[in-house]
Structure 1
Amino acid sequence: MPEVIFPGPDGRLEGRYHPQKAKDAPLALILHPHPQFGGTMNNKVVYNLHYAFHRLGFAVLRFNFRGVGRSQGEFDQGIGELSDAAAALDYLQVLNPNARQSWVAGFSFGAWIGMQLLMRRPEISGFVSVAPPANMYDFSFLAPCPSSGLVINGEADRVAPPSDVLKLVDKLKTQRGIEITHDVIPGAGHFFDKQLEEMTGKVERYVQSRTAVEDAS
């Protein structure tokens, strides 16, 4: 898969881009966990999400936030990272001007950034939020949440406790015009060590069902 370097708001950003032959292929941007706790675009969850979307026919980009790997800049408490994500989506859209859909998927810290990007970019039609850290970050900006999506987390997650994720999901489900699907993986911790394949399979089935309906309409 080709390595790419593209311009970000605070210098160059390093990514991995996996295109499709179809010119109208949908797009997926994948966002990694917290940079200060070892999060990179090569995290196993991020890597598996990347290939899950590509198997479904998406042109996919994952990248390192500022200060990670070969990406320039320094950690910016989420503010700069949101700008990085917007720049990455811009880059992906320039490469695929005829894309019929755009999705964002994020894991942990990346889920928080992804949901904020969702609010800024009305062209994003779907999202996957894996283990959103609702206990650490304020998600009240999702008012209203503009798109339907999947929230998936582990039953034994001690980093992002299931009770906090459930409160977030319940709040989102009260909003009209969207549908939030919530899936809990039994026995799984924050990194889905033994349940990675199960988690990825659930994501694939959800995205496949959504895109099939939207392509048919």
Structure 2
Amino acid sequence: MNLTGILIVQLGTPDEPTGPALRRYLKQFLSDPRLIEIPKLIWWPLLNLIILNTRPKQSAKKYARVWDEKTGSPLMHYTQMQTKLLQEKFPGMPVEFGMQIGNPALLETIKKMVAQGIEKIIVFPMYPQYSATTTASAMDCLGQALMKIRRVPAIRFIPPYYQHPAYIKALATIIREQEAKLTWKPDHHLISFHGIPISYCQRGDVYATHVKRTTLSLVK
């Protein structure tokens, strides 16, 4: 009997809101060629001599403002909750999560799943809209992890779900719940997404298109 597991793939989070932890996180994050499409000879000195000597301390202060005393990193906390809730939905399938950056690393999570006897893994990237900077980066990271293990399980990726009815319904529900807490009715709703350089879109990244389709589906 082939055991199937679900692997949630998340970007990752620093281990703690400190300068050294942010330096480790940013070094790995900003070294991803999917994210930074600048020639390495130009980017390496900028990253290692300037950015990593100034940004970590600044970023640590911002992370400290959202870091919860009990639950720690918000991203880690909510990823753990998602994993737990998904496990309740699929009690017969082991559900784990791994981070592209930081801990628990994808490699360690996959090793854990393989040790459990899992032979098929459904990979669920936490990126509704496709972008080379996110979804493709997650695929790269997973591929690099698989290169380091001997018994490679069968892999299936969940495709982008930017217009999936369940995703749109979840967004609409959150908006309505938050709106119900207001003592006034808003005239407009402003929807904000992460951005990517225009040049990436001009070279074929479909992220902007997916964002527009998510927005149109939500408006309907």
Fold in common (TM above 0.5): no
More helix by share: 2
Higher relative contact order (CA 8 A, sep 6+): 2
More strand by share: 1
Q: TM-score, normalised by structure 2?
A: 0.30
Which protein has the larger Cα radius of gyration, Structure 1 or Structure 2? 2
Q: TM-score, normalised by structure 1?
A: 0.31
